[in-house]
Amino acid sequence: MPQNDDARDRTLSLLDDISRGVLVTLKKDGRPQLSNVDFTYDPEKGVIRFSTTDGRAKVRNLRRDPRISLHVTTANGGAYAVFEGTATLSDVAAAPDDEAVEELVDVYRAVQGEHPDWDEYRTVMVEDGRLVVRFSIDHSYGWVPGA
């Protein structure tokens, strides 16, 4: 059953206060692969983003099949939502001043605030082979009181 606009708004409202969730990607055999992730949500663009390291299972899965889901819940479990979409991946960070690192800085700031040493952060992002996964919310469902 499709959500009405009020229910969708209430479901999306969970993203105002939650920045950690369980990411679901699909393994080769179709079974789910789950990962805990810290993420940021841009309500104006309707995009969820998080940082990860190249070579991780979630990255391999998304390169093969970009379907993605993110499950979030309140601390007491009283409300939850699942957000689904199709992932895109940034390039892997290759230089401290490249576009991938700039986006990694944006994601870090949105999730953690200011880093004490941005030069060090940028260098580590390249050394670790990090990238940004992003997806627009195509569909959501869940249970939020009043939704």
Instruction: For residue 63, give its domain range.
Output: 5-143
- Nearest of 5, 67, 75 to residue 30 by alpha carbon: 67
Check: CB of residue 66 under 8 Å from CB of residue 41.
no
* pLDDT attached to residue 145: 84
Q: 144: which residues sit within 8 A by CB, 6+ positions away?
A: 7, 10, 11, 13, 14, 79, 80, 81
The contacts of residue 125 (CB under 8 Å, 6+ apart) are 93, 96, 100, 101, 104
State yes or no: pLDDT of 76 exceeds 70.
yes
**pLDDT tens column, 79-131:** 999 999 999 999 999 999 999 999 999 999 999 999 999 999 999 999 999 99
Confidence at residue 1, expressed as pLDDT on a 0 to 100 scale: 46
pLDDT tens string 12-68: 999 998 999 999 999 999 999 999 999 999 999 999 999 999 999 999 999 999 999
Count of domains observed in the chain: 1
- Pairing mode, if any, of strands 20-26 and 32-38? antiparallel
The beta-carbon contacts of 53-58 under 8 Å, at least 24 apart in sequence, are 53/128, 53/129, 53/130, 53/131, 54/92, 54/129, 54/130, 54/131, 55/129, 57/25, 57/27, 57/33, 58/23, 58/25, 58/33, 58/133
What are the pLDDT digits (tens) for 62-75? 999 999 999 999 99
* Mean pLDDT across 131-147: 90
CATH number at residue 17: 2.30.110.10
State in Å, rounded, how far the first CA of the chain is from the last one: 13
Q: Quick one: pLDDT band at residue 3, thresholds 50, 70, 90?
A: low
